[in-house]
Structure 1
Amino acid sequence: MSLTNQKHLFDLPEDVTYLNIASLSPSFKSIEEAGLRAVKEKSRPYLIPSSDFFNPVTELKKLFAQLINVNDYNRIANIPSVSYGLATIAHNISLKENSEIVLIEEQFPSNYYVWEKLAKKYNAKLKIVQQEINGKLWNEAILNAINVNTGLIALGNIHWANGTIFDLKAIRKKTRQHDALLIIDGSQSIGALPFSVKEIQPDAMVCAGYKWLFGPYGCGYAYFGSYFDNGNPIEENWANRLGSENLTNLTNYESNYKALANRYSVGEHGSFIYIQMQIAAITQLLKWKASDIQDYCHKITVSSVNQLKKAGCEIEEDTYRAKHLFGIKLPESVNKKALKEKLTREKIFVSFRGDYIRISCHLYNTEAHFEKLTKCILSEIEI
C-alpha cells in the first residue's frame, strides 16, 4: 500500500515549508512525548532501575538492526556522532605503505579528515574521484579507481549535497576482487532509502541519528563487520566490559570486552532521554518502507523537478539520484543572495551546499510545498 501524507504525526506550522531534514529532522509527536517522559523520570532517579542502563539499549539496537537488515544486533554500536564512529573504524585499520584510500569529490568533512589522517599514519595516498557530469559516469569513475593498490573506499550511499546514488553493490564486488575495505556513511540515506547490510555486506557503516532516523542531536549508530570483531575501542568505558550489568561487581576489573561491536559503544550510551526518543522514532520508521518513502517523495517533486529543468536548472536524472534528497544547480545569472532572502520571507527552509540548493523532503511535505519553492526559484530566474 502506498504511503499518504503523514503531517499529522508532526507539529509543524501550516505556513512553514520545511525542506531541510538532511540538516536536522523534526520530531514526531511520539518522539517528543517519549523525551518528556524520560526528562521527568530523571527527576526521580531513585525510581530508575539499574537495568535501564542496558535493556533499552538492547531494544534500540534490535530496532536499528532490523532497519538495516542485520541478524545480530551485537554488531551495532551506539555512537555520539559519525566522526566518532569513523575514528573508531580508522583506529582499527592497518594499511600497507603506498596503498590508496579512495574517496569521492566534495565528501562531507567528517568523512575526509579521518582518512587524511590515516593516510599520513601509514604513508598511504588519498585518491579523490572527481565528480562527473552525471551519476552514470561518476559511478563508472569510482569503479575504475578501485584497483590492486586500493586499501579502502569510504563514501555515502548517496552524495550528501546533490543526492547522486552510488552503486554500492557494484563497488562492494570490485573491492572484494582487490581485498579492499568498504566503509559506508549512511547518514543521508538510512531510514529513507532502501539499504540492506545482507545485500551490500560493508565492512562497516556509520549513521547519524538526528537526520532521517528522527533522533535527537548527539546520537548515532555504527555497524561493524567481522574485520573489526577483535578490535580496540578509542575509549575504555565500564558498560562495554563483559558482565558490566552486575553493578556490585564493577571493581573486580574485567579485561574482556562484550562481544563484537558492543566494545565500540560510546561511554554513557545508555542515555535515558536519547534512547527513549530514538526507540520511538525507529519504531515509527519500521511501520513504513523506505521504498514507499522514495515513491512518495518522487510523486510530490516530479512536477517541480521538470519545471526547474526546463528553466535551466541542473538536477541529476531520476535513475541516478535519490528522491528524498537532491541538489538543484541554479543558472549562473541567478542572484543567490536575493533568492535566499525571498525563501526566508516565504518561510521556505532549504540548504545551500556548494553549487547546489539541497532539497530534502519527507512524508510531512506535499506537492504544494514544492509549488511554492518552484515559484520562488523561477521568479529569480525570470528577473
Structure 2
Amino acid sequence: MIPSQRHLFDIPREIAYFNCAYMGPFLKTARAAGHLGIDRKALPWTVTPADFFSESERARSLFAELIGANPDDVALIPSASYGLATAARNLPLRRGQKILLLEDQFPSNVYCWKALAAKSGGEIVTVRTPADYDWTAAILAAIDADIAIAALPHNHWTDGALLDLASISAALRAVGAKLVIDATQSLGALPLDLEAVKPDFLIAASYKWLLGPYSTGFLYVAPEHHGGEPLEYNWLNRKDSEDFAGLVAYEENYQPAARRFDMGERANFALMPATIAALEQLLAWGVPNIQQTLAALNRDIAAQAEALGLIPLPEEKRAGHFLGLRRKEGLPPGLAETLRRENIHISVRGSSMRITPHLYNDSADIEKLISALKKHLGE
C-alpha cells in the first residue's frame, strides 16, 4: 500500500478529484520538466541534433520497462486513435471475416475498424453488455473461425468492467485471430502480463493513467509486425536520420524495429520531458502497488456507496482503479455538474457514475464525496 502522494501533485485541499479516467493531473516534477521543455524552444541554439533522438529513446525505454517489453517493440504516437489506425492498417481482413468489438466501446477503438470492414468487405461483430458484466465469458462465446481481429480494452471505459485478456488471447490464437488492445484506461494503474496476453498491437495515450501530457502516447508492436506499413512517412523514422547533413540522400529503409511507426516530430521537445518524468515516477511506485492502493480506496468508497442505494460492480469483475456506480432508479440528472460546483470531480458515462481516484486522493476526499452523495441522492 502506498500512502497518499498528494504532496507530489498541485491539488488544492478543497478539490476532491476522482476523475483520473477523464484526465490525470501532472505531477509537480512533470510540470516542472514540461516548463523547461517549453523554455528550451526560446533558446533553439541549445537544441542539438542528438536531442532529436535522446529523450524519445528514453521515453521509449521507460514505457517498455513499464509493460515488460523490449524498447525495439515500442513506437511513439500522439494519440490512441493514431495507434489504432496503425494497427488497422497492418492487419489483414478478408471479405466475410469479422472484427470483434464491445458494446459502448470508446469511439477511437471503433471508427478505424468500421472503416477497415467497409473497405475489405468484412463485418463488425459487437458483443452486447452481459447482464452479469462478465465480459470475458461473453467474448469467449463470440469467438469463432470467422473472427480475424478482436479490438478490446483491458477494462471497459464506462465502469471498469474487467476482461481476462490472457484467456481471450488464447482463444483468439486458437482460431488464428489477431488481438489489438486499447489500454489507455488501464496502463499505469493495472498490471498487464505481456507474455501471457501476447497482443499484436497495444496502444495507450499518456494523459490519463500514465499521468503524462496530452498528445503523447505509446504503441507496442509485436515483432512479427515490425516490417509493416507506417501511418505516415517522416524523416525521423528513416535509417540514418541522425545524419542531418545527409538527409537529402533519401532513404527507403527505416529505423530499426517498431521505430518505423513513430509519429512525425516524435522528439517533441516541449512534452517529452514531462512524459519521461511521469513514467519515472510510475516505475518508482510500481504498477502492482498502485493497483493495490487504488483498489483499497475504491473498496472503501463502494462499501459506503452501497449504503446509499448505489450498485457497484462486484470487485472480482472490475479493475481495482475503476469504480462504476449505478442506481436502480437512475442517477439524478446533472449529477456530475452538481458535484463539480462543490469541488468534487467525477464522470457520468452511460448509466454509470465513474469514480477513478489516484494516489493523490485520501480519506478527506472520500468523506467529502460520500457526504455530497448523501445529500444529492436524497438520504
1:159 corresponds in structure 2 to 156
Tell me the distance in 2 between the aligned counterparts of 1:144 and 1:315: 25
- Corresponding letter in the other structure for 2:56: V
The answer on 1:367 being equivalent to 2:367 is no
1:121 corresponds in structure 2 to 119
1:315 corresponds in structure 2 to 312
Equivalences, count: 379
- Corresponding letter in the other structure for 1:356: S
Shift of 1:227: 3.5
2:201 corresponds in structure 1 to 204
The C-alpha deviation readout for 1:3-56, integer Å capped at 9, x for no partner, is: 111111111000000111111111111001111111222211111111000011
Tell me the distance in 2 between the aligned counterparts of 1:340 and 1:141: 31
SS at 1:242 equivalent: coil
Q: 1:156 to 1:252 in 2, by over 3 A?
A: same
The C-alpha deviation readout for 1:133-186, integer Å capped at 9, x for no partner, is: 2233x2111011111111010111000110011000000100110000000001
Shift of 1:344: 2.2
The answer on 1:215 being equivalent to 2:212 is yes
2:27 corresponds in structure 1 to 28
- Corresponding letter in the other structure for 1:367: S
Tell me the distance in 1 between the aligned counterparts of 2:178 and 2:355: 31
Q: 1:248 to 1:352 in 2, by over 3 A?
A: same
- Corresponding letter in the other structure for 1:297: L
TM-score by length of 1: 0.96
2:92 corresponds in structure 1 to 94
SS at 1:207 equivalent: strand
1:133 corresponds in structure 2 to 131
Aligned pairs (5 A) from 1:71-82 = 72-82=70-80
Q: 1:246 to 1:348 in 2, by over 3 A?
A: same
Q: 1:61 to 1:333 in 2, by over 3 A?
A: closer
Tell me the distance in 2 between the aligned counterparts of 1:143 and 1:239: 41
The answer on 1:347 being equivalent to 2:347 is no
The answer on 1:51 being equivalent to 2:50 is yes
Aligned pairs (5 A) from 1:285-296 = 285-296=282-293
The C-alpha deviation readout for 1:273-329, integer Å capped at 9, x for no partner, is: 111110111011100122211221122232321232233222110111112122111
Shift of 1:117: 0.7
2:297 corresponds in structure 1 to 300
Aligned-pair RMSD on alpha carbons? 1.3
Aligned pairs (5 A) from 1:131-280 = 131-136=129-134, 138-280=135-277
- Corresponding letter in the other structure for 1:351: S
2:8 corresponds in structure 1 to 9
- The question of whether the paired residues in 1 share the 8 Å contact of 2:331 and 2:351 is answered with no
Tell me the distance in 2 between the aligned counterparts of 1:261 and 1:334: 45
TM-score by length of 2: 0.97
- In structure 2, the gaps of 5 or more residues are none
Shift of 1:357: 1.1
- In structure 1, the gaps of 5 or more residues are none
SS at 1:306 equivalent: helix
SS at 1:308 equivalent: helix
- The question of whether the paired residues in 2 share the 8 Å contact of 1:301 and 1:370 is answered with no
Tell me the distance in 2 between the aligned counterparts of 1:29 and 1:123: 49
- Corresponding letter in the other structure for 1:112: V
Tell me the distance in 2 between the aligned counterparts of 1:341 and 1:234: 39
- The question of whether the paired residues in 1 share the 8 Å contact of 2:298 and 2:322 is answered with no
The answer on 1:283 being equivalent to 2:280 is yes
Tell me the distance in 2 between the aligned counterparts of 1:322 and 1:109: 21
SS at 1:311 equivalent: coil
- Corresponding letter in the other structure for 2:332: N
The range that moved more, 205-214 or 219-228, is 219-228
Aligned pairs (5 A) from 1:101-116 = 101-116=99-114
Tell me the distance in 2 between the aligned counterparts of 1:209 and 1:84: 13
Tell me the distance in 2 between the aligned counterparts of 1:255 and 1:349: 50
Shift of 1:373: 1.4
- The question of whether the paired residues in 2 share the 8 Å contact of 1:301 and 1:367 is answered with no
Tell me the distance in 2 between the aligned counterparts of 1:202 and 1:296: 27
- The question of whether the paired residues in 2 share the 8 Å contact of 1:342 and 1:376 is answered with no
Give me the identity figure in percent: 37
- The question of whether the paired residues in 2 share the 8 Å contact of 1:297 and 1:363 is answered with yes
SS at 2:203 equivalent: strand
